[in-house]
Amino acid sequence: MSKYAPLANHLKAQLEDSVELAFTHIDSLVNGLPPSARNHDAWWANSRTEDSHTWAHLWIAAGWECDSVDRANEIAVFRRASDSLSKPAHRYWWVNHKQTHLDEYSGGYIWAPKTKKNGNSNEGYLNLTKAKVGDRIISYANGVIKSIGVVTHGYVDAPIPKTHWEAAEYWGSSGWQVSVEWMPLTTPLRPKHFLDQIAPLLPEKYSPIQKNGDGNQGIYLASISQDLGNLILRLVCEVDPTAVQTVNEIEIEGEDALQEQILRSSEIPETEKQQLVRSRIGQGIFRMRVAQQEKRCRLTGVDNLAFLVASHIKPWRDSDNEERLCGSNGLLLSPHVDKLFDRGWISFSDDGRVLISAQAKSVAQAWGLVGTSNVGAFDPVQRTFLKYHREKIFKGS
């Protein structure tokens, strides 16, 4: 991983279009700027050529440019670029489902016609064409918020789903479909109970709900502000503390989707790009390289590859392209073990001790994972990635 990747990741996480960073702040992110950064303005140039300015290539790939640098006062100002990566990391949308919400949950999508039967369209339909990978969608049905989703693929032309045929007499035959990874809430949230907080943040035009809290069924998909989206997530966690993990899952899914989108739009060779994309889900050359080093799940002992997941130790979203395909950055794990490891509920020490977070001990015990205290030592390269996992991903102390 490039030492400058943390700077690019820091910029990518910003929601504002401009950010001022002190050199000391950048020092902490990249483990020290080189002397040339403090002595020469040219170090901060937004290079797009095949040169050695890899740091600039990284912040450009993240959608940012260095706007100005004040070496005397040791301050650099970065501004979001004006290309397709210039938008904030994600937007929030609110979808008003009717009777089709269960079908859209199970199918992993939202769908709307391009027009009504009379040829008229509306903003709620057109908004499907504006939803981008990584955007968050608040799902409202029957007076409550039941699920939160992450857009995993932008809109495509799609005929009306069979499950929507009852409404076909009101709609045109063709429509748009957006793929969504839905995450159901254990305890649904009723917006009417929080109108004093929600109402002031509703959009003036094309609001998803009315001021009295009733749904606005004339709008299928509505754009809502970051403030309202963040408020909904906070309220969800207050109503149901267990939903915190659901929100974390949403953030992870959104970041993974954004990283894949950036990768797909990059200029690296197509064959390498496909291998990197496949490595995200533990497939392709990454899986082969992991299997050359790891012969079984270290916790369950299962050695049949058909039942094992090639799991990144340092998450795919946090790795550079070399690390994403590195066999030492992976373990073969049984699916339930992969889930615990991927989300930081368990980890391993360098010498193979199993580390289990307090929140996951009952689950690990129910799955029969508590009896194994040591899974065997790891090689030096694996230890480097495990150190990252313990420090950045593991939820234990």
Same domain, 214 and 347: no
CA distance 155 to 61: 23
Residue 263 lies in a domain: no
Compute the mean pLDDT over every residue in the chain, rounded to the nearest whole number. Answer: 85
* Strand intervals (E) in the chain: 18-22, 64-70, 75-80, 92-96, 109-113, 136-141, 144-159, 174-189, 221-224, 309-312, 330-333, 346-348, 354-356
Strand, helix or coil at 148?
Answer: strand
Same domain, 382 and 239: no
CA distance 356 to 333: 16
Same domain, 128 and 74: no
Of the candidates 161, 64, 78, which has an alpha carbon nearest to the alpha carbon of residue 112?
161
Q: What is the pLDDT along the chain (397 residues), one digit of tens a residue?
A: 568 888 887 887 776 778 899 999 999 888 899 999 999 888 998 876 655 678 888 888 888 899 899 999 999 999 987 643 434 457 899 999 877 788 888 889 999 888 876 777 788 999 999 998 778 899 999 999 999 888 888 889 988 887 776 655 667 678 899 998 888 888 899 999 999 999 999 998 899 999 888 888 789 999 999 889 989 988 988 877 666 666 666 666 666 776 776 666 666 787 777 787 777 777 788 899 999 999 999 999 999 988 999 999 999 988 888 999 999 999 999 999 999 999 899 999 999 999 999 888 999 999 999 877 889 999 999 999 999 999 989 987 6
Residue 214 lies in a domain: yes
Q: Report the number of distinct structural domains present in the chain.
A: 3
Same domain, 353 and 227: no
On whether the pTM is more than 0.85, the answer is no
CA distance 382 to 323: 11
CA distance 242 to 123: 35
Same domain, 141 and 35: no
Residue 141 lies in a domain: yes
Domain end, chosen from 80, 109, 143, is at: 80
The answer to whether 54 touches 2, Cβ cutoff 8 Å, is yes
Same domain, 160 and 217: yes
Same domain, 347 and 285: yes
Strand, helix or coil at 182?
Answer: strand
108: alpha, beta or left? (left if phi > 0; alpha if psi -120 to 50)? left
Backbone dihedral angles phi then psi of residue 94, each to the nearest 5 degrees = -125, 120
Residue 149 lies in a domain: yes
CA distance 246 to 148: 9
For residue 111, give its domain range.
92-257
Q: How far is CA 282 from CA 164, 293, 372, in A?
A: 35, 15, 25
Rg of the chain over Cα atoms, rounded to whole angstroms, equals 23
Residues 6+ apart with CB under 8 A from 391: none
Of the candidates 198, 219, 195, which has an alpha carbon nearest to the alpha carbon of residue 207?
219
CA distance 187 to 184: 9
> Among the residues of 149-283, which ranges form H helices?
195-198, 226-239, 243-264, 270-280
CA distance 63 to 82: 8
Same domain, 301 and 367: yes
Same domain, 249 and 275: no
Q: What is the pLDDT of residues 149-205, one digit of tens each?
A: 888 888 899 888 877 766 556 676 788 999 988 888 888 999 999 999 999 999 988
Same domain, 252 and 111: yes
Same domain, 123 and 201: yes
